[in-house]
Amino acid sequence: MKKAIRIFSVFLLATSIVSNAQTGTVDSIKFFTDEALISMTLTTDIRQLQTEKKQDVFQPATVSMKLPDSSVIEESILVGARGKFRRSYCRIPPMMLNFRNTTSPRLNPLGKLKLVIGCGIKEEDEELLLKEFLVYKIYNILEDRSFRVRLLNVNYNDSRGKVKPFSQYAFLIEDDGDMARRNGCRKKADAKFLTEATNRDMMTMVALFQYMIGNTDWAVPNNHNIKLIYERSNEAAPPIVVPYDFDYCGLVNAGYAIPNEIIGTEKVTERVYRGFPRTLEEIQITLDIFRSKKDSILSLVNNFPLLGNRAKREMINYLEEFFRMINNKGEVKSVFVDNARTS
């Protein structure tokens, strides 16, 4: 799979510059609009990262990033393990990279970013990572109020020499404050809202998107795998739901993903609509957005060079199944109207 790096530039354009020419600092917005692959070396005590059980515990690390303009930034940052299930299940846990330090002046604007990595070091682990990356990109096609992601090729070095160095694709998730700001919104910490107290149109979009990708691992009231953002121009407006964390969805189909017993499915590829009642007209208006973006979505997957043909074919077949279904008026009414959840 690594040989695909050589043709990556055919797929992605490296035209934007992420560094501010005057200050040398990274522009946190442009960082996630540039599509070019970044090569990054991360050096830290990997064993300590693997064994740390507490939340929000950070340790020293050094990162070296080669940016699209061929410049290299090497600075000291802090890293911490995050997550729950994958933290105990995976070889190396997902990480939070904290660039907001006096030791990282050029990368400082990036703030704190989630680094999504493979659960293991096998090729199939990397494949799942790339599939989840594409899920984020699919939602970007459908909705601007979404988390952007940046693909990296990461070289992991253990600062104590106890773990053999290895390389793997990974991706960074845009800071939620930056995502909110570029959409004219702001964020609030740990705000609690009932599902139907959020922006109705956006909640419909999110529920239909989660159905398309076969994801039931989300909930609004406890902020599970969603973020809420608020319109700056209208303080009284209901919050907007923004989804993230898609590794449990059917479109990715990870071997470690276990169906939720409450949902009642036997495998994660079974779709379950978890949206609340809407009129058929409301559903069709939102589904028209999906229909209009179908070609772009399928093209994104088909033209992504880092996935093998089998993996791409599986994703395309799963998506095509959804698009066939939403063109059947009877099924649309049955799934999204008649059988919408009521509690």
What local confidence, expressed as pLDDT, does residue 23 receive? 56
Q: What are phi and psi of 335, to 5 degrees?
A: -75, -50
With 70 as the cut, is the pLDDT of residue 8 above it? no
Residues 232 and 210 in one domain: yes
What local confidence, expressed as pLDDT, does residue 1 receive? 54
- Contact by Cβ (8 Å): 14, 33: no
Residue 305 counted as domain residue: yes
Residues 193 and 326 in one domain: yes
In this structure, is the dihedral angle defined by the CA atoms of residues 227, 144, 28 and 80, taken in order, positive or negative?
A: positive
| Choice between 22 and 277, residue whose per-residue pLDDT is larger | 277
Residue 343 counted as domain residue: no
Read off the tokens for 62.
């050094």
Residue 266 counted as domain residue: yes
Which residues span the domain enclosing 281?
184-338
CA separation for the pair 276, 299 (Å, rounded): 31
Which residues neighbour 225 within 8 Å (Cβ) at sequence distance 6 or greater? Answer: 217, 218, 219, 243, 244, 245
Residues 97 and 243 in one domain: no
Residue 197 counted as domain residue: yes
Residues 94 and 21 in one domain: yes
Residue 323 counted as domain residue: yes
Residue 28's Cβ-count burial label (10 Å; 0-12, 13-18, 19+) is buried
List, for residues 27-75, the tens digit of each pLDDT value: 999 999 998 999 999 999 999 998 887 888 999 999 999 988 889 999 9
Average pLDDT over residues 174-192: 91
List, for residues 315-332, the tens digit of each pLDDT value: 999 999 999 999 999 999
Q: Are strands 240-243 and 58-66 parallel, antiparallel or unpaired?
A: unpaired
In this structure, is the dihedral angle defined by the CA atoms of residues 317, 323, 329 and 334, taken in order, positive or negative?
A: positive
CA separation for the pair 141, 146 (Å, rounded): 9
Which among 111, 145, 178 is the end of a domain?
178
- Contact by Cβ (8 Å): 225, 85: no
Residues 168 and 299 in one domain: no
List, for residues 284-304, the tens digit of each pLDDT value: 999 999 999 999 999 999 999
Which among 157, 178, 199 is the end of a domain?
178
- Coil, strand or helix at 122: coil
What local confidence, expressed as pLDDT, does residue 17 receive? 41
Residues 60 and 149 in one domain: yes
Q: How confident is the model at residue 119 (pLDDT cuts 50, 70, 90)?
A: confident
Residue 243 counted as domain residue: yes
Q: How confident is the model at residue 97 (pLDDT cuts 50, 70, 90)?
A: very high
Average pLDDT over residues 149-174: 95
Q: How confident is the model at residue 203 (pLDDT cuts 50, 70, 90)?
A: very high
CA separation for the pair 251, 128 (Å, rounded): 10
Q: How many domains does the chain have?
A: 2
What local confidence, expressed as pLDDT, does residue 15 receive? 37
Residues 163 and 248 in one domain: no
What local confidence, expressed as pLDDT, does residue 138 receive? 98
Residue 282 counted as domain residue: yes
Residues 203 and 328 in one domain: yes
Which among 126, 151, 178 is the end of a domain?
178
Residues 75 and 150 in one domain: yes
Residue 80 counted as domain residue: yes
Residues 231 and 116 in one domain: no
Residues 13 and 38 in one domain: yes
End-to-end CA distance of the chain: 45
Residues 7 and 120 in one domain: yes
Which of 15-29, 68-82, 221-235, 314-328 is least confident?
15-29
